[in-house]
Structure 1
Amino acid sequence: MKVVCLWHATEDETVYIKNALPRDTDLVVPKGEYFSRFECTYLDIARHAVDADAFIGWTLPEGIPEISNKLKILSWFHSGVDDLRQIGFLSLAKQRGIKIANIRGANATAVAEQAMMFVLALAKKALMKHEAASENHKFFPLFADEYRSAMLSDRTIGVIGVGHIGSLIAKRAKGFDMHVLGVRRNKERSVEYVDLMHGMDELHSVLAKCDYVVLATPHTVETFQFFGKAQIEAMKPSAFLVNIARGKLVQEKPLYDALTSGRLSGYAADAWQSYEFGRTFPVSRTPRLRIARLPNVIASNDQAANADDALERYIRWGVENLVEFAAGKPLSREVSPDLGY
């Protein structure tokens, strides 16, 4: 089996991969200078891609899939595959019978912790109070609505999308004595720490009960911008919304209107809406309305998974995908090109 790394693996990483795979594996790693070691170019791998059986890594250079006629599997170092849909690889994989496996769950704990950080930071008005403290300003009058923190204890949190990450968010929410409502495609599959599970057709009734709502669904054709004006209006004005998944789940204009009118208390996100060439005009990789600058918004820029142990786990789980494939075993983390997860 010929395996092509899609990143400039270190010597230690290369040795680890070689030791994990069958002894007769031909492992190719890009060499030479690079700007980011977690990517490669067409020229780096083109001559090896033409007869490669497997790709493994974070990026897929333009033009490489088209010349990789012997490719049998892609081990993708991301939890989602919406980027593969965008570049047309999901349809190509379905057409050619190429298997795709991801590393879903590898960053679940880090992302769940980030979600709870957002919940706490919004509830406790962390940014406002930090700025006041840095200026030695004492809020007055005491217990005024605009300064008072919200509580998590005995409040209700709705987790929309109860997969790997959503399940861990529910567990952590229980640590704060919260009532947890879950919403997922298959509501018959119960999850520990979720008090009541609901289907997507019950979304609005769940939103009306929640003090906090966390979006943890994958980005698919069905979930693209599914959270808009109607969903926000179903929420309590005192509620907080956290998007720990993909920026494209939420419609930007109704979110901005709600945050600036008092219809929604606050918003936090790790990923932001983007507007791609050929799909939208004008093109922008950032929100058009500069939502992150609003005083009731907390943002990180795709940093939830940038945590201790994550890189090592990505590589370990990504290699496990190829080990299963080489052994002819079912892929534990196989992705359906039709479903997009």
Structure 2
Amino acid sequence: MKVLCFWYATEDEINYIKKAMPPGTEVVAPKGDYLSRFDCAYSDVKHLVVDADAIIALSVPQGALELAKKLKVFSWMHSGVDDLRQMGVLSLFRERGVKLANIRGANAVAVAEQAMMFVLALAKKTLFKHQALQERNKPFPLYADEYRSAMLHGRTMGIIGLGNIGSRVAKHAKGFDMHVLGVRRNKGKPVENVDSVHGLDELHSVLAKCDYVVLATPNTTETYQFFGAAEIAAMKRGSFLVNVSRGNLTQEKPLYEALKSGHLRGFAADVWWSYGFGSAFPAGSGSRLKVHMLPNVIGSDDQAANADDVLERNIEWGTQNLAEFAAGKPLTREVNLDLGY
């Protein structure tokens, strides 16, 4: 069996994967000059991919998978597969019978911590008060609406999506004595630390009760831009919205208008928008309405998973996918190619 790494893997990383696989497994990685070692150039993998049985990847060079005629399993070291869908990879795998597995949950700890950082930073006006300190401009008068922090204690948080990230956010919220409401497809399944679980048909009634709303649902054909004007209007006036899932869950224009009008007190996101033609627009250059420039918005531009322990866990779980396949076991984290998760 030949395993190909779609990044400029170190010798230690290659040896880690090889040790986890059956004896005789060949593990290879591209070599060449690079700006980021976690991407790889088509020219550096085209000669390696033609006879690869398995690929473990952090990115996909355009055109490379078309050459992988022997490919049987692809281990994607991310949770979401929307990038693969946009590249036509899911349909290619369906045609060729390739199994796809991801590492959903590998970055859940880091992303859930980021979500709570956002909740606290918005509530406590962290950036505003830090800037006031730097300028030696103490907010006055005391307790004025525009200067007063919000509280978490006794408030209600709504979490849309109760997977690995959402359920961990709920656990953190309980540490702040919050009331937690959850929305998920399967509302009949209880979730620890969630006071009540609701279906998507109850979304608006849940939003009306929440002081904080966290989006943690995967980006699928069902959830693409599902959070729009009606959902924002259903939220409490003065509530906060946090998105740590995918930028395209939310519709940008009604969000911008709600933040400008004060209907929403604040918005935070680790994710931003892409506009349907394959190019992701980072904050600062692509958001059409410059949501990230509003004074009641904070963001981290896809940096939540850039944290201690995450890379090591990504490789560990990505390798587990390949080891399960090689042993003939069901893939614990197999992606349904039709559903996209």
Pairwise TM-score range, normalised by the shorter structure: over 0.9
Counterpart position of 2:207: 207
**Contact 1:239 1:265 (C-alpha < 8 Å) held by counterparts:** yes
After TM superposition, the score normalised by the length of structure 1 is 0.97
What are the equivalent positions in structure 2 for 1:61-100 lying under 5 Å apart? Answer: 61-100=61-100
Q: State the Cα distance separating 1:130 from its structure 2 match.
A: 0.6
Counterpart position of 2:144: 144
What are the equivalent positions in structure 2 for 1:29-108 lying under 5 Å apart? Answer: 29-108=29-108
Number of residue-to-residue matches in the alignment: 338
Q: State the Cα distance separating 1:48 from its structure 2 match.
A: 2.1
Q: State the Cα distance separating 1:77 from its structure 2 match.
A: 0.7
Q: Distance in 1 between matches of 2:28 and 2:44?
A: 10
The 1:36/1:244 distance shift into structure 2, 3 A limit, reads same
Instruction: For structure 2, list consecutive stretches of 5 or more residues without a partner in the other structure.
Output: none
Corresponding letter in the other structure for 1:25? T
SS of alignment partner, residue 192 of structure 1? coil
Counterpart position of 1:118: 118
Q: Distance in 2 between matches of 1:214 and 1:171?
A: 13
Q: Distance in 1 between matches of 2:113 and 2:265?
A: 21
**Contact 1:5 1:29 (C-alpha < 8 Å) held by counterparts:** yes
The 1:279/1:34 distance shift into structure 2, 3 A limit, reads closer
Q: State the Cα distance separating 1:254 from its structure 2 match.
A: 0.4
Q: Distance in 2 between matches of 1:52 and 1:32?
A: 19
**Contact 1:274 1:285 (C-alpha < 8 Å) held by counterparts:** no
Q: Distance in 2 between matches of 1:307 and 1:232?
A: 31
**Contact 1:79 1:104 (C-alpha < 8 Å) held by counterparts:** yes
Q: Distance in 1 between matches of 2:279 and 2:129?
A: 40
SS of alignment partner, residue 264 of structure 2? coil
Corresponding letter in the other structure for 2:82? D
Counterpart position of 2:22: 22
**Contact 1:273 1:285 (C-alpha < 8 Å) held by counterparts:** no
SS of alignment partner, residue 197 of structure 1? strand
> Over the residues paired in the alignment, what is the CA RMSD in angstroms?
1.4
> Residue deviations 1:107-128, cap 9 Å, x none?
0000000000000001011111
Q: State, as a whole percentage, how many aligned pairs show the same letter.
A: 67
Q: State the Cα distance separating 1:286 from its structure 2 match.
A: 2.4
> Residue deviations 1:141-196, cap 9 Å, x none?
11111111110000000000000000000000000000000000111111100000
Q: State the Cα distance separating 1:134 from its structure 2 match.
A: 0.9
After TM superposition, the score normalised by the length of structure 2 is 0.97
What are the equivalent positions in structure 2 for 1:259-278 lying under 5 Å apart? Answer: 259-277=259-277
Counterpart position of 1:323: 323
The 1:248/1:285 distance shift into structure 2, 3 A limit, reads farther
**Contact 2:157 2:180 (C-alpha < 8 Å) held by counterparts:** yes
SS of alignment partner, residue 17 of structure 2? helix
> Residue deviations 1:26-67, cap 9 Å, x none?
111111222211111222111221121111011111111212
Q: Distance in 2 between matches of 1:137 and 1:34?
A: 46
Corresponding letter in the other structure for 1:306? N
Counterpart position of 2:128: 128
